[in-house]
Structure 1
Amino acid sequence: MAVLSEYNYVFAIGTLFALLDAYNNGANDVANSWATSVSSRSVTYQQAMVLGAVFEMLGAITVGARTASTIKNKIIPLDAFQDNAGVQMLAFTCALAGASMWVMWCTRHSAHVSSSYSLISAVAGVGVATAGAAQVEWGWNGGQGLGAIFAGLGLAPLISGGFAATIFMLIKLIVHLRKNPMPWAVYTSPFFFLVAGTICTLSVVYKGSPNLGLNKKPAWYIASVTLGVGGGLFVLSAIFFVPWLYAKTIKKDHTIRFWHLPLGPMLWRRPAPAEVHEHANVPDYAVIQKDHDDDSTHSSEVGVKVGGNVTKVGVQATPEKSSHDRSLAEAEAATPQMSYKERVAEAQARFHAKLRKKRGPLGWAMRMLHNNPLAPGEIYELKNIKIILKRIPAMITVAALYGVNYDIHAAQTGIHGTPEGRRMERVYSHATKYPNEVEHTYSYIQVITACTASFAHGANDIGNAVGPWAVIYSAWKTGDAAKSSAEVPIWQLAVLSATLSVGLITYGYNIMKVMGNKITYHSPSRGSSMEMGAAITVLLFSQYKLPVSTSMCITGATVGVGLCNGTWRAVNWQRVGLLGFSWLMTIPVAGTLAGCIMGVVLNAPHFLS
């Protein structure tokens, strides 16, 4: 086995950028896919971190791709490297560098982009620098060229929005628009478990298990498996979930717990508690622009329609007239206030003050950083060097734990008193708020769809990061340029899936805080519709071998469901426009970055023969 020892540094740098790309994938793509569930309050932020990490790693390690394409989507011809392993290693190292730098910058500024599209664009840029623009596949190329990427940018969000809107309108017609929606929500829940189970099984078959080859089985086999899983969920939910949900939401039994589910039909005869409460013991799914731990005056209400009337949640409401009749500029001029940056700094200071009161490592680290600021003078002065040495352990602790403790819901609703805060109040005011007992039914369906999406993402999309790394490793290890595919060792899948999970846990909050409720109002029935609509779109595109981003699909589905409120004002179009702009900029920016790095390094003067 030959080893290109003279390229050890290229292999080391390529490994570093492969890990960085996986980290960015977790912080950007995976965080975006879980933002819907967190925004809907079907799971807490911490639960999303755990479930996302577990199912991503499970999908990658158990059924992840064991082979990876050396030329991502056939954008660069194989002969571009002229069987030179060193050039091939350098090309994929530069592609990873360009893609990871762009995604990292976008994540830092809370702009969601697709890691997959970034890498594909970077590979195209490297192809231009290596073989020339004429050798890059700019057309359709059977759905694997850059033309197909542009098509996916426009079509996927639109199609996803259509599917998600259809599912949510079905829920509205069957449940929400009824005079007494609660029994309809309980008794129709097995049907939606059937739909979710079938869609999720198809997602695993066609997108999430290339190693098992389930998509190559006969049609009758695939139909039997998918309908069997969906039907199984239907039967189990009808036997066990329906009576449990009936006792909890209709009987308002505050004593029932999750572990009572196995009792199933016996729960029909369970007597109602002597003390009957007005509302069932379920979470409050309302979006509230109020920090419960903050007693300051900088709080607000969020207007939400209940049965056609606008009601307020929270305290100190902005007058309805300023939210609807007056423009944002007029409202801002009528009420003198702090600047946007001052509001952001104030909100962050309050949040950090709460963290400093916590017990444990994070509270200690925040107090250490707060109590030990750098002294006046240059950073290299002895007093500042001593302070830095004291701060380093605290900085590492904060980097590891800050994201897990971030207040996503407070960040998503916007800061009261700012243009963004008032904009979100107006968006929420156009959304009908349905009873918490009804919404609670769909929170369980949404957890199933979210976990399946993470499993499929870990199994399939991990190849976007591991593919270039596997090529670099193969070329370095054997001394030969990798051919059409390269074997992916299991340890590489394990390392990158773990890195992806670390990215989700430590930095995913930067994407989650701008997704979900900063686009439109969320709730479990809306969120489950969004995730099922996105899953159907991914399946449809996969059947025609068209590249598609799961994150773009969920964004389109979010807009589609938001429009089901009956007005375009229920969607924050400014945020949607910024997301669309970041998607479009991904292709030229990532491609130019990678191409320039490749061109400079490949043509740099060298003095050794």
Structure 2
Amino acid sequence: MVLSEYTFVFVIGTFFALLDAYNNGANDVANAWATSVSSRSITYRQAMVCGTIFEMLGAITVGARSADTIKNGIIPHESFAGNAGVQMLAFTCALAAASSWVMWCTRHSAHVSSTYSLISSVAGVGVATVGASQVQWGWNGGKGLGAIFAGLGMAPAIAACFGAIIFMSIKLVVHKRRCPVPWAVWSAPFFFLVAATICTLSIVYKGSPNLGLNKRPAWYIAAVTMGTGGGVCLISALFFVPWTHAKVIKRDGSIRWYHVLSGPLLWSRPAPAGTDRAIAVVPNYAVVQEDPDINEIGSPDTIRVDPIDVLPKATQANEKSVKVAEGQVDYKLLMAQAEEKFHAKLRKGRGLLAWAMRTLHENPMGPGEIYEIKNLRILLKRIPCMVIVGALYGLHYDIHAAQSGIHGTPEGDRMERVYSHAKKYPNEVEHTYSFIQILTACTASFAHGANDIGNSVGPWAVLYGAWRTGNAAESEADVEVWQLAVLSATISVGLITYGYNIMKVMGNKITYHSPSRGCSMEMGAAITVLIFSQYSLPVSTSMCITGATVGVGLCNGNLKAVNWQRVGLLVFAWIMTVPIAGTLAGILMGIILNAPHFG
């Protein structure tokens, strides 16, 4: 029986649960795919498709277990003394504070941990609702705040170690060889084995409580895991290796992707004879900071941005400070010009997004207030176009240029110095690992869906159970599969529409990326997430992938190969998340609980 007096709180709480899931996709999932996109192993749109599929698979098949920690491990349901209304309000305030903080940070390209943001918010409302003594500050069987925040320091370090170990193995086996290309081709099945085993282990060993796979005996788990990993290894040896050999060693330009189905027959495939035979060309995986298509659109002389538009109002009002801000004007002009060039490129294209951006460009708001009749008419044209741009802009964003920084700006120059300390390996070698990186990215996305779905589904399960029954103890009920499906779909929407804001930071702004480095980062982060999730400990995917990125960057043998300024800013944002999210949630809960009421 649904209690109508709780319906309003349930609706508000559901909204913030969906918003939290949306932010999770725009923040943490974008981190999981940033390395693949920045390494050019996969296009942005392909990453969105793969990310959606594997996020939902991980959440639905594995995600139910980690939800219990946030549901019951921080504030015991007994603390609410059976008051379902207060319990619903507490988790609604926690979701509101966490989602607001993460959205603000995502807007400013600071990828804070949505996991720790929600955990801190739950602790904050716990203090405001039942008192600090009722909050589980200690270990609490691995489910208290002590156990959860232990991962704040351990997870990045562990991920850095795993990432470094995997990349060093690639470096020693392949990159250090006199002829690294054949070594890359022949060793590829081993890394397919590692990636496939990790993915299979996350499904079988963790399992979904509804499937009961985690209750199987150890021999069964080992047999299925190694059997699946070995099967993928065998398939890659039979089909992938001959195809890659023909492309990167024989340089057969006539080979196509569907020839991979020929498998062993490719060994006897004769290379086209004659001087006109096509030579296979692999993609260039080098990091670039300029887009030739954009540069052809215009120059600073043809695309002008008024300095008054980019200067702060205080600077405009104070003529004496104009000279001080001269460097700032130049920087902001460069950024504004680059953005306008990119928008001009989009407006020249075809499709719904190009039409919407042309309409917005040709119909600017006129002088006067918004309620002027002329402006109201323009606004009616702009609103549907703004919705279309908001939904489709991310799919067309220039991720690569934004990741590296605009050429000529202080940030762009800084990243050029960082890249100069990383050795560049042959494109043929990196091309081989680009396929492995796609598999590791899917594994990382699956691991994220398994672990971080608990951020939103845990509180939402509490809200739904209390609203449906009116009993606070209902929060111990299992999470429904449809709840996992809805929130994982919302996570995917966040990735597709707003993930570019984080991708442009996480991509190449920490260290140099390439497919061999990227698959090491992703695999190291995936292993770490799965280990923590196995013990029902929510851990930040953002922290894991950042730690793995730094670990792989240090494998270049030079501290200057890592952008420590960006790493420091990220660590500062992680630390500040704990007091800010907790305080916001606690204040919000305290105000609502103590607000004047009648009746």
| Distance across 2 between alignment mates of 1:140 and 1:276 | 70
- Asked if structure 1 preserves the Cα contact closer than 8 Å seen for 2:444 and 2:525, the reply is no
What CA distance in whole angstroms lies between the structure 2 residues aligned with 1:461 and 1:150? 15
Shift, 1:516, TM fit: 2.2
Contact 1:70 1:484 in 2 (8 A): no
Alpha-carbon distance in 1 for matches of 2:446, 2:356: 34
Q: Closer, same or farther in 2 for the Cα pair 1:469/1:550, shift >3 Å? A: same
Q: 1:531-542 counterparts in 2 under 5 A?
A: 531-542=522-533
* 1:472-511 correspondence runs (5 A): 472-483=463-474, 485-511=476-502
Q: 1:338 to 1:208 in 2, by over 3 A?
A: farther
Distance in structure 2 (CA, Å) of the matches to 1:486 and 1:104: 30
Secondary structure of residue in 1 paired with 2:472: coil
Distance in 2 (alpha carbons) for counterparts of 1:73 and 1:526: 39
User: Cα offset for 1:287?
Assistant: 0.4
> 1:84 Cα shift?
0.6
- C-alpha displacement of 1:218: 1.6
1:209-608 matches, within 5 Å, as 209-274=208-273, 275=275, 280-293=280-293, 294-295=295-296, 339-483=330-474, 485-608=476-599
Check the 8 A contact 1:143/1:547 in 2, yes or no.
no
Q: Distance in 2 between matches of 1:203 and 1:62?
A: 10
1:94 match:
93
Report the RMSD for the aligned CA atoms in angstroms.
Answer: 2.1
Q: How does 1:89-168 map to 2 (within 5 A)?
A: 89-168=88-167
- CA deviations over 1:41-83 (Å, ceiling 9, x no partner): 1111111011111222233345542895385361112222110
Give 1:269 deviation, angstroms: 0.8
Could you say if the C-alpha distance between residues 482 and 182 of structure 1 is closer, same or farther in structure 2, counting changes exceeding 3 Å? same
Q: Following TM superposition, by how much is the alpha carbon of 1:213 offset from its aligned partner in structure 2, in angstroms?
A: 3.2
Counterparts of 1:189 and 1:557 in 2: how far apart (Å)? 21
Task: Letter of the 2:291 partner, please give it.
Answer: D
Q: Percent identity?
A: 75
Whether the 8 Å contact between 1:356 and 1:366 is mirrored in structure 2 is yes
CA distance in 1 between counterparts of 2:539 and 2:276 reads: 50
Deviates more, 1:336-345 or 1:231-240: 336-345
Q: Distance in 2 between matches of 1:460 and 1:159?
A: 17
- Alpha-carbon deviation of 1:607? 1.3
Deviations 1:2-52 (A, max 9, x none): x22122211111111111111111111111111111111111111101111
Alpha-carbon distance in structure 2 between the residues aligned to 1:73 and 1:114: 20
Partners of 2:466 and 2:474 within 8 A in 1: no
Q: Which moves more between the two structures, 402-411 or 73-82?
A: 73-82
| Aligned-pair CA distance for 1:339 | 2.3
Instruction: Using structure 2 for the length normalisation, give the TM-score.
Output: 0.91
Spell out the pairing of 1:167-182 with structure 2 (5 A cutoff). Answer: 167-182=166-181
| Aligned-residue offset at 1:394 | 0.5
Distance in 2 between the 1:93 and 1:546 partners? 22
Instruction: Flag the structure with higher helix content.
Output: 2
Summarize deviations over 1:301-356 as a string: whole Å, max 9, x none: xxxxxxxxxxxxxxxxxxxxxxxxxxxxxxxx9x9895222221111111111111
Q: What is the distance in 1 between the residues matched to 2:167 and 2:278?
A: 28
Paired residues, what number?
572
Work out whether residues 40 and 285 of structure 1, in 8 Å CA contact, stay in contact via their aligned partners in 2.
yes
Amino acid at match of 2:188: S
State the alpha-carbon separation in 2 of the partners of residues 165 and 339 from structure 1.
Answer: 39
CA distance in 2, matches of 1:498, 1:156: 26
**Judging changes above 3 Å, is the alpha-carbon distance between structure 1 residues 29 and 211 closer, same or farther for their aligned structure 2 residues?**
farther
Cross-structure match for 2:306: none
Is the alpha carbon distance of 1:423 and 1:510 closer, same or farther for their aligned partners in structure 2, counting shifts above 3 Å? same
Whether the 8 Å contact between 2:78 and 2:473 is mirrored in structure 1 is no
Letter in 2 for 1:176: H
Q: Report the alpha carbon displacement of residue 502 of structure 1 after superposing the two structures with TM.
A: 0.8
Q: Gapped runs of 5+ residues in structure 1?
A: 299-332
Structure 2 gaps, min length 5: 301-323
TM-score of the pair, normalised by structure 1:
0.90
Residue identity in the other structure for 1:352 = H
Once the two structures are TM-superposed, the CA of residue 206 in structure 1 deviates from its matched residue by 4.2
The SS at the match of 1:517 is coil
Whole-angstrom CA distance in 2 between matches of 1:206 and 1:597 = 40
Other-structure match for 2:187: 188
Q: Structure 1 counterpart of 2:560, which letter? A: R
Cα separation, partners in 2 of 1:479 and 1:142, compared to 1, 3 Å: closer
Within 2, Cα distance between the matches of 1:495 and 1:119? 19
8 A contact 1:412–1:515 mirrored in 2: yes
